[in-house]
Amino acid sequence: MDATKEVAAMTTPADNGYFMPAEWWRHDRCWMAWPCRPETFACGIDEARAAYAEVAQAIARFEPVTMVCNPEDAAEASLAVGPGIEILPLAISDSWIRDTGPSFVVDGKGGVAGVHWRFNAWGGNYADHQVDATLGTRILEKLGLPAYEAPLILEGGAFHVDGEGTLLTTEECLLNPNRNPGLSKAEIEAHLRAHLGIREIIWLGRGYEQDETDGHIDEIACFARPGVVIALTTDDTGDPNFERFQDNLDRLRLARDAKGRELEVVPVRQPARRDANGVRLTLSYTNFYLANGGLVMPAFEDSADDEAFRTFRRIFPDHEVVQIPAMDIVRGGGGIHCITQQQPAAGH
């Protein structure tokens, strides 16, 4: 083991001055993973691959994109995404790199490292996830970056940070007994502080109804900038999400961030309900990717699409907002944020 990796093995990121920057911190690149599991996309893996390629091409207008794929899929993936997007052959089980890839941290002095979380396929939903359980470490090895092994089962889509010490998450996911049954809430909070360099945790209650991730935060809320949170809402009192979202709004309005600020909450109306095979699809505008100078957000062929687009243009005036069809991604169980992972630049 070299000296850098040995330090990473013995200490935590916070011990060494690392913290997770906000998603608007400048990126070196965006990571994605090529769809490879037909069972995930029962409505059509070819359609999913076309949708992933469109997302990759949209992001590549603003920053470099690396697409991880199984070695046998490298030629097909390269042809599909086109020139300018790097293809990295690495064994994968599935294509949700937000949850299976590393979470990158910086020290504000030119250092970048990665945190590798333990992965159990969203609480044991799938048995064939062992290859993805090591993906974070393998990506960090390829990059030659220090890797911190976190003793916590966690997915990247389960939390969101403001880069100034505040983390947003849900009790439904992080306190679910199918993740870390031996850890108390206080112990989970301690691991988050140690590995992400945060000081304040804002706990929302439940996530999107029937979300198979058990309430990932990126389906319901996210920071737009320090002190500002975008939150999904609905006015339909008969929708099971109504009670969930109202409770989350109440918690956000009572919360204070790590700097003691009250939060400005920007509501974004959810699209109309749609199901697939009897299960509700998690249609959410908060599930987007913020690139260097650009924002790639979903469209769902819904009357709320235009309203959401205008809202995002207002919230992010310095970004070019690109809206692309996302139904073929959502039918697999996630969204644009779920299939991407930003790698921050060493300097802001």
- CATH assignment at residue 98: 3.75.10.10
Which is the catalytic residue, given 30, 173, 222, 338? 338
- The Cα 49–Cα 197 span in angstroms is 35
Per cent of the chain over pLDDT 70 is 97
Structure tokens at 224: 């737009």
* Residue with the two structure tokens 């500002």: 228
Query: How many Å apart are CA 212 and CA 297, to the nearest integer?
Result: 21
On the question of pLDDT at 7 being above 70, the answer is no
pLDDT average, residue stretch 126-141: 96
Which residue, 30, 345, 18, is CA-closest to 196?
Answer: 18
Q: How confident is the model at residue 342, as a pLDDT? A: 98
Backbone phi, psi, residue 87, to 5°: -105, 125
Quickly tell me which residue has 């003793």 as its tokens: 151
Average pLDDT of span 250-255: 98
> Following DSSP, what letter does each residue of 251-266 receive, concatenated?
HHHH-B-TTSPBPEEE
> Distance between CA 220 and CA 235 in Å, rounded?
15
Domain limits for position 210: 3-344
Average pLDDT, rounded, for the chain:
96
Number of domains the chain contains: 1
Q: How confident is the model over 113-128, as pLDDT tens digits?
A: 999 999 999 999 999 9
Across the range 173-181, mean pLDDT stands at: 97
DSSP string, 178-232: TT-TT--HHHHHHHHHHHH---EEEEE---STT-TTSS-GGGTEEEEETTEEEEE
How crowded is residue 88: how many other Cβ atoms within 10 Å of its Cβ? 18
Residue whose tokens read 């956000």: 252
Catalytic annotation present for 36: no
- Average pLDDT in the 177-181 region? 97
Query: Which of 286, 339, 284, 340 has the alpha carbon at shortest distance from 316?
Result: 286
The predicted pLDDT at position 347 comes to 78
Average pLDDT value for residue range 103-122:
97
Q: What is the per-residue burial (b if ≥16 Cβ within 10 Å, else e) of 264-290? A: ebbebbbbeeeeeeeebbbbbbbbbbb
pLDDT in tens, 185-216: 999 999 999 999 999 999 999 999 999 999 99
pLDDT digit string, tens, across residues 276-329: 989 999 999 999 999 999 999 999 999 999 999 999 999 999 999 999 999 999
- Residue 288's nearest CA partner among 132, 55, 93 is 55
Q: HSE on the CB side for 232, CA within 13 Å?
A: 29
Kindly state the DSSP code that residue 333 receives in the 8-state scheme.
Answer: T
**CA-CA distances (angstroms) from residue 153 to 25, 163, 182, 259?**
25, 22, 11, 28
Burial class of residue 178, CB neighbours in 10 A (0-12, 13-18, 19+): middle
